[in-house]
Structures are given as structure tokens and as C-alpha cells.
Amino acid sequence: MNRILSFFSRWQEFIVWLPVLIFLALLGWILLGALDRTIGGDVLAQLLQLPISAAYLATACAAAWLFKRTYLFDLRDDEERQLHEAARAGDRSAWRLLLLDRAEWVALVGLFVAFFWIAR
């Protein structure tokens, strides 16, 4: 039982929160869309496309994480904690390294979102 709980605790973003956020986005779209009586087929198609787009975004984030872990220097938790403490103490090189790490993440997620973009 402890192994199952640790699995859900480790992957709760994808197993629990992503479906909840998709459901809340769909519910909000339906409730706000129900206020407009001129809703057409295009809006319903966009409504059906929303969970698919969320799955593509999750795939892009997972691919970016896998790429960074495999091919780039991925900071371990203890290293990142030490860099944060050094940056708070005023070490500019630690701050630059953290900024570079975040810029790599943003660039990788952007590249993989472009790679997994849905072509029509």
C-alpha cells in the first residue's frame, strides 16, 4: 500500500491534477459557452480539441524533461538547493546558473510544443 501511495504522490501532477484541470477547463467552457445561444459547430469542435491539446502539451513537457535529463546538464535537487542558497547570499554566478537552467527549460518546452503542434 505504501508503494502505491508513493507512486501517486510522485506522479500526482499527471495522474490527479492534469485531469482535474482539464475537467475544470471543460466545465468552465461549457458553463460560459451555455450563456451564448449562438454557439456553433466550430466552438464545439474547439471544446473537443481542448483535452487533446492538453495531452499534446503534457507530452511536450515530458519530452522536454527527458531531453534535458539525457542530453543537457540537469541539476540535482541538492545542487539546486545549494545554488538557491548561494544566490540568496549574493553569489551572482549561482544566480546566472539558475537563470540559465530556467531558460533551458523554457526553450525546450517551447521547442517541443512547436514540435508537437497540431497541423491542420
Mean of all residue pLDDT scores within the chain = 84
Dist. CA 22–CA 13, nearest whole Å: 12
Q: Residue 5: pLDDT band by 50, 70, 90 thresholds? A: confident
User: Domain coordinates of the chain in residue numbers?
Assistant: 2-115
- pLDDT higher than threshold 90 for residue 43: no
- pLDDT higher than threshold 80 for residue 104: yes
CB 104 within 8 A of CB 72: yes
- pLDDT higher than threshold 90 for residue 35: no
Residue type, 61: C
- pLDDT higher than threshold 70 for residue 97: yes
Mean local confidence (pLDDT), 8-15: 78
Condensed to tens digits (0 to 9), the pLDDT of residues 47-88 reads 777 788 888 888 899 999 999 988 988 888 899 999 999 999
